């Protein structure tokens, strides 16, 4: 009876321990996606505030800095929107990030402008494009982008023409408006364009739209100092060889003073996985050292990963395997493993562990794809996976990617699967 009670006590302690872990993960997502960190971007110190919080967690978990600090600092260019963003059509104000978005490369502009309108299929050859540019002069061009041709080649040609209108510095138009029913998504930009670009998906009667009143206050920062955050747990047998866990902590920041992009799934969830694993390995030691790299600048072009791989703080040849976590917050349809077909033995091990323990609904395989931070490591010969969850909410690069609606459906099983995987090395 005493032995049975002891076993039950161990099970209860185990449950409590995991409960603390999932609550810790929820805490991390909620914290990083909160207004406190300004969307973890490059206005109002959001990126640096997030870095201070993460490095504080590293210290609490007992991770060791590779040098005197957890930070690997580097500089990047970034276009920001620290102040007013507004748009009126026929004197009706539109709501930023709900009705419209200013493209992230846009420069400052203020004024009321006439519009020249056309449908996308009306610029299907060079002469029509030239005619539109001549008609527009220094006005705004509004392109009705709601109907696409069934001809794929023609669509590609029209998209090239639209890009020409957006970015060519030689044409005189003041700006370009793209009107569509597409979901509004934002991004980061490391350059500033010659003209503002506005994406609108609010229902409008375009026949009645003749002018816009616009204010965009942008600030291009040529050299913004940011940082990767790096700490490790020493291995028991091979302390100079590493299993590496990466996730990016940056997101899109703010659009004006009032709109911020929470980035709960992208990528507070990946940071929750990284820190959850760091928490586990703070009291569980592997043969190899565990290196945890929280990367900045991913949204601006994998810049943190580029900094680390160009200026590695450990010998890249000493990395046994790397797993990059991005979009870790759902899982109703399992996970997908980028580079799974490249490192098939490791993929087979992952699927075997998943099947044996009945963790996730499925583990899908994918080939190489340069779509997250792992890519820069892979290009330098580091064996690696990038894993993301599937199913659930579709919020992405918008204001709806919030902690309160991120389910973390399979986070417990996903985390346990990765622990089994890392323990197998």
Phi first, then psi, for residue 206 (nearest 5°) are: -65, -25
**One domain, residues 207 and 125:** yes
Largest CA distance in the chain: 91
**Structural domain ending residue among the three candidates 216, 237, 257:** 216
Q: What pLDDT digit, counting tens, does each position of 328-373 carry?
A: 999 999 999 999 999 999 999 999 999 999 999 999 999 999 999 9
- pLDDT band (50, 70, 90) for residue 4: very low
Q: What pLDDT digit, counting tens, does each position of 168-179 carry?
A: 999 999 999 999
**One domain, residues 312 and 350:** yes
pLDDT given for residue 165 in this prediction = 98
Strand order across the beta sheet in which 175-179 lies: 92-93, 85-89, 211-216, 109-119, 140-144, 175-179, 197-200, 100-102
Q: What pLDDT digit, counting tens, does each position of 205-246 carry?
A: 999 999 999 999 999 999 999 999 999 999 999 999 999 999
**Structural domain ending residue among the three candidates 216, 232, 261:** 216
**One domain, residues 276 and 419:** yes
Kindly report whether the peptide bond that precedes residue 267 is cis, defined as omega within 30 degrees of 0.
yes
The strand pairing partners of 75, in sequence order, are: 225
Does the pTM of the predicted model rise above 0.85?
A: yes
- pLDDT band (50, 70, 90) for residue 35: very high
pLDDT given for residue 1 in this prediction = 40
Q: What pLDDT digit, counting tens, does each position of 67-105 carry?
A: 999 999 999 999 999 999 999 998 899 999 999 999 999
How many domains does the chain fold into?
A: 2
Three-state DSSP class for 419? helix
**One domain, residues 229 and 360:** yes
Q: What pLDDT digit, counting tens, does each position of 39-52 carry?
A: 999 999 999 999 99
Return d(Cα 352, Cα 120) in angstroms, integer.
50
pLDDT given for residue 262 in this prediction = 98
Average pLDDT of the residues in 311-340:
98
Average pLDDT, the chain: 94
Of 279, 421, 405, whose CA–CA distance to 363 is shortest?
A: 421
Average pLDDT of the residues in 138-159:
94
CB 32 within 8 A of CB 274: no
Chain position carrying tokens 């669509």: 155
Q: Which CATH number is 107's domain given?
A: 3.50.30.30
**One domain, residues 257 and 347:** yes
Domain that holds residue 239: 23-79+221-423
Do the bridges between strand 335-338 and strand 363-365 make them parallel or antiparallel, or are there none, so unpaired?
parallel
**One domain, residues 102 and 31:** no
């Amino acid at each position: 009876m005493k032995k049975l009670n002891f076993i039950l006590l161990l099970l209860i302690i185990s449950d409590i321990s995991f409960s603390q872990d999932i609550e810790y993960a929820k805490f991390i997502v909620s914290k990083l996606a909160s207004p406190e960190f300004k969307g973890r971007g490059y206005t109002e110190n959001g990126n640096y505030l997030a870095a201070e919080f993460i490095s504080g967690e590293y210290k609490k978990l007992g991770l060791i800095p590779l040098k005197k600090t957890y930070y690997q600092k580097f500089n990047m260019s970034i276009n920001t929107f620290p102040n007013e963003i507004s748009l009126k059509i026929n004197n009706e104000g539109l709501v930023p990030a709900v009705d419209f978005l200013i493209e992230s490369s846009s420069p400052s502009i203020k004024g009321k402008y006439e519009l020249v309108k056309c449908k996308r299929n009306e610029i299907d050859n060079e002469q029509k494009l030239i005619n539109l540019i001549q008609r527009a002069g220094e006005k705004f061009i509004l392109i009705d982008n709601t109907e696409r041709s069934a001809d794929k080649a023609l669509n590609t040609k029209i998209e090239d023409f639209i890009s020409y209108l957006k970015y060519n510095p030689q044409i005189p138009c003041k700006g370009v408006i793209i009107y569509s029913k597409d979901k509004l998504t934002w991004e980061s930009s490391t350059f500033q364009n010659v003209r503002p670009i506005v994406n609108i998906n609010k229902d409008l009667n375009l026949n009645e739209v003749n002018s816009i009143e616009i204010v965009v206050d942008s600030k291009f920062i040529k050299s913004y100092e940011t940082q990767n955050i790096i700490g490790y747990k020493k291995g028991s047998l091979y302390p100079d060889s590493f299993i590496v866990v990466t996730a990016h902590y940056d997101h899109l920041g703010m659009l004006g003073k009032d709109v911020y992009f929470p980035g709960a799934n992208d990528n507070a969830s990946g940071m929750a996985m990284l820190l959850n694993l760091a928490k586990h390995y703070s009291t569980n030691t592997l043969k190899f050292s565990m290196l945890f790299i929280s990367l900045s600048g991913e949204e601006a072009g994998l810049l943190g990963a580029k900094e680390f791989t160009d200026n590695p703080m450990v010998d890249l040849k000493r990395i046994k395997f790397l797993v990059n976590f991005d979009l870790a917050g759902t899982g109703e349809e399992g996970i997908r493993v980028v580079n799974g077909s490249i490192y098939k033995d490791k993929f087979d091990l992952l699927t075997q562990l998943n099947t044996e323990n009945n963790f996730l609904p499925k583990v899908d395989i994918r080939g190489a794809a340069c779509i997250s931070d792992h890519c820069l490591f892979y290009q330098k010969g580091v064996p690696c996976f990038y894993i993301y969850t599937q199913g659930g909410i579709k919020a992405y690069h918008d204001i709806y990617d919030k902690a309160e609606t991120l389910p973390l459906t399979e986070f417990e099983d996903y985390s346990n699967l990765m622990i089994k995987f890392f323990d197998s090395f």
